[in-house]
Structure 1
């Protein structure tokens, strides 16, 4: 089985969490994407790409999170569809999509395909979320008076599993490498044995409204 583990950095948060396939304008733009394709033993593909901004500017609030400036993105970035074309080559080889808060990253990638008026091949793949799937493993206390355990950040999950931190958090490639380590360790512990995770309620609503050949 091939696992496609990916991470993105973006210009921020969505204006509103509407269906990214039909309403891409509500979603932030992607400025970096990294991924690995692995069978759990061998890394078959390892990619990292910056996106050249076209029609948008990376705001300072986002730069303070991931450090990708407009100058860096312009000088080192590639056109978005060139990058997504390479990403799609790995998608067709994958059996499962994996990410930390995977629904967010998946939505942003979907919105970029939609802006280009193309179908989003990642919508075909079952997916596993290391954030939501490890909540009962980390058992972090809730914040703000909420019930249940807090969703762990990738850094918190990595520290819980390995008692160590990882460098360059919020760099997509560093996050992918850390997510891969966490995911494979969680599988060893018996998690993520089912191919499909239960979709979120909002995604089920989106799915019903889509006329998308990938559904």
Structure 2
């Protein structure tokens, strides 16, 4: 898929519904990270949802959020990884319907960004379907962007080469080892901006260039 392909589709349709041909810098991005009780969306639950907003190539920390899910039925061993206790969920948590209402408002007219989207999107799609919330149609994955970049360079991709920490290190970003959803979303936002600026070479390339780049 290339920019010319997107242009051809736009010509055939007569419009560009998702702004794929518009400069990537003109879009608003919401970088998302979840904390979970496990890896199976059929059995496990969302513990918290965090997001960081990017507008005009700038991270807007004042628009960030980290909401805990009050309705988690069983944390099991997951606090070992995310540190959120049942007591904290009861004190600070919200029902999932309220979390998605706030998150949906933040995401309106935005592009979602994840690191390793496969896991988080499966959970998000499940809870959004349950609560009849519509997610944005377009999402980017910093892991996939990096995977394509390394593959096109002919690099051997080790098992741990696509972790958030490993990807950040290749762009000279500070070390990051947190498992807190908000700090992970911030770390992913920084990685995304580094990747986008390298891909675009600081030129106003279209959003489609980020979708197909590597």
Shared fold per TM-score greater than 0.5: yes
Runs of 5+ consecutive residues of structure 1 not aligned to the other structure: 16-25, 144-149, 199-215
Provide the C-alpha distance between the structure 2 equivalents of 1:166 and 1:190, rounded to a whole number of angstroms: 23
Give the Cα separation in 1 of the matches to 2:164 and 2:43: 22
Q: What is the match of residue 173 of structure 1?
A: 182
Task: Give the deviation of 1:126 after TM superposition.
Answer: 0.8
Tell me the residue number matched to 2:69: 51
Aligned pairs (5 A) from 1:1-215:
1-14=27-40, 26=42, 28-39=44-55, 40-41=57-58, 43=60, 45-54=63-72, 56-60=73-77, 62-94=78-110, 96-116=111-131, 118=132, 120-122=133-135, 124-137=136-149, 139=155, 141-143=157-159, 152-166=162-176, 169-190=178-199, 193-194=207-208, 197=211
Higher RCO, 1 vs 2 (CA within 8 Å, ≥6 residues apart): 2
Whether the 8 Å CA contact 1:127–1:196 is kept in 2: the answer is no
| CA shift for structure 1 position 42 | 5.2
User: Shift in Å at residue 27 of structure 1?
Assistant: 5.0
| Structure 2: tracts of 5 or more residues without a match | 1-26, 201-205
Q: Is the 8 A contact 1:131 1:151 kept in 2?
A: no
TM-score computed with the length of structure 1 as normaliser: 0.72
Q: Answer yes or no: is the 8 Å Cα contact 2:48–2:67 preserved in 1.
A: yes
Length-normalised TM-score, structure 2: 0.73
Q: CA deviation at 1:67?
A: 1.2
- State whether residues 9 and 33 of structure 1, in contact with CA within 8 Å, keep that contact through their aligned partners in structure 2: yes
Distance in 2, matches of 1:79 and 1:196, equals: 35
Q: Which protein has the larger Cα radius of gyration, Structure 1 or Structure 2? A: 2
**177 and 42 in structure 1: CA distance in 2 versus 1, 3 angstrom threshold:** closer
On the 8 A contact 1:8/1:32 being kept in 2, the answer is: yes
Number of aligned residues: 175
Change (3 A) 1:196 1:163: closer
Name the Cα RMSD after superposition.
2.4
Q: What is the CA–CA distance in structure 2 between the aligned matches of 1:111 and 1:8, rounded to whole Å?
A: 13
